[in-house]
Structure 1
Amino acid sequence: MKLYSYHRSSAAYRVRIALNLKNISHTLIPVNLLKNEQTQSSYTNKQPQGLVPCLETKDGRLLAQSGAILQY
């Protein structure tokens, strides 16, 4: 799994905590909001809203919004 995240985002922090508590292996992909990386097409193709966090599952599904990710 890949977690697109920003280190100062409280929503992304929640997801990182949950993945670590559940011992779910994942790779952190940093998205620097201060440099507007969330508006680049390489990211908006995955998350059209340009928000973090975004979780890409092993089967290629993309989940946005921390609540939905935590429920998944």
Structure 2
Amino acid sequence: MDVIDVRGQQCPDPLKKVASILAGASAGAQFKIVTDDYVCYVMLRRLMAINDVKILQAEETGPYVLVVEK
């Protein structure tokens, strides 16, 4: 599982980075996404929903973590 660490970055940069990585990933690929910005965390959750990416795990106490599967 690859880790996408976007701590210290503010949206929209993390969204662009994660979207780009997901676009190039094959079906079934799993990623752990880490951010320290709550607004970014919420936006990343929306990005997953829009792109039909499964959220396998979510940690809502900082740092915020999403484990996802394309």
TM-score by length of 1: 0.35
Could you say which structure has the higher strand fraction?
A: 2
Structure whose CA Rg is larger: 1
